[in-house]
Structure 1
C-alpha cells in the first residue's frame, strides 16, 4: 500500500471523484461529472476549496466546500459550506474523515472566510461536535404542506443570526442544478417560492427565499403537497395545512453545524436561523 497523500482538490480529479462518491453513496444517482462541475466550479460565489487523499493512483478520500455569502447577525460575510464528504470503503475507520474536515476548515480560515457551515447526519454529528468542535446548532425541521407556509421575510432577516444573501447570479446558478432543476413557482410580497423534485413520491421539495435585492419573479401558484426542510427564526412563519414528518420516518435526521473561525466559542442562536434545502442542496 502506498503512503497516503493529502492535497488540494483540483478540476482534473472530477472523474475519480464521481467514482469515489459512487462507492460511498451507491444509491445516490446525482453524482456525475456535470453535477460536480456545476456544484463546485460554476458557483458564482467563488472557487471551491477542498481536500483529496490519494493512495497511489486511487482517490480514497474527498471533501469539498464551496463559498456561501451570508448575513451573520446582520453583517455580510462569506463562509464555507461543506458539500460532499466520502472515504473509500477500504479506508474507513482510520480517521480520514476527521482529517479531511480539519484541513478544509484550515483552508477556509486561510482564505478569510468567517466560518464553516454544513449539515450532518446521524452518523457524523457526534464527530463534528465532540472531535471537531463544531456547534450542533439545531435539527432541521421537516414537514409536508398543502399550502405554502407564510413567512415574514423582513422580520426573519432582521432577527436572523444566519441567513443566505441571495443574488440574481447565485439564484440563477442554484436553479440550474443538472441533477434536479428547480423552478420559481410563485411569489409573495417579500418571498420567492422555489420547487424541485424531492425524495418522496408525488411530493415536491419546496423552499422560500427573500425577494430582497432580486429581480427574478415567480408567476403562478404553489399547489399540491410540498416537503419543507430547514429552519426559520422563531415567530416569523406560520404553517398552513401542514403535517410534521416524525424523525423516525426521515431517511436520516439532519442537523445544522457551525464553526466560527474568528471566535471558536461563538454560538448561533438556533431560534434565529433562516436556512432551507436551497442553501445546502438536500435533494
Structure 2
C-alpha cells in the first residue's frame, strides 16, 4: 500500500471515532465515505473492516469509564478465599454471596446485568437477520432516508423534552425495565443511517432519562454489542488476514480509539449545556445532500 492508501485508513478511523459516539450514524458515514474514498481492498474485507474498526472505539469507553465499569475489588482484611472454597463450606448461594461481598461492587454488578438485558433485543433480531439486512439496507438511499427521519425525530423530541423534568439522572435510577426498553430502541439501529447511539439516546430520553444518563448508558451498552458484532464479522471473514489487511485493521482501530476519546469527552461536555437539535439538523442536511448527489449529480 502506498502513502495515500494509509491516509485513507486514517480518515476512516477518524470518521469512525467521531461518528460512533455522536448520534449521526457511524455505519452510514463509513458507507458514504467509502463511496468517495475507496481503499484498495476487497469488498468482503471492507464490510468486515467497517464493523471491526469499532473495537478501537469500544476500548476508548473502557479506558474513560473504567472506574464505573470494573466490578471487582478486594476489601481490606477480607479473607483470601475463592468463591469455590466458600460455596464448599456454605452452599452455592451463600458462597456466591460471600464472594460478592468480599470482591465485588454490587452496584456495578447490577449495572452489567442491566447492560446484558438491554443487549438481548438486538441479539435476537440482529444475529439471524444480519446478512439479510446487509444485503437490502446497506446502500446510500437507506442511509439518506434514515439520516433525515432520525434528524426530524431528534428535533421533535427535544422540543417535547423541554417541558419535562427527567425522572432518571444517575445509573442507579435506571431500572431493569428501563434498560430493556432502551435495548428495544437499539434494534432500530440495525438499519444503516439510524445511529446506534442516536436510537438508544432517543429511547432513553423518551422514557425519562436525562441527556447525560442516556448518553452514558449508550456508551456502556456499546461494549458487548459492538464486541459481538465485530466477532461475528471476524468469524464470517474467516480470521485469515494478509499482513497488509492486519496492518490496516490495527491502524484503523488505533486511530478510532484516539479520536473516540476526544469525541466522547466533547459530547458529554456539550450536552451539559445544549440539546441534540444541532445533530438533528446536521442529519437532515447531510441526508438531503446524499439524495441530491446520488439521484441528481451522479
Higher relative contact order (CA 8 A, sep 6+): 2
1 or 2, which has the higher strand percentage?
1
Task: Give the shorter-chain TM-score range.
Answer: under 0.3
TM-score w.r.t. the length of structure 2 is 0.22
1 or 2, which has the higher helix percentage?
2
Larger radius of gyration: 2
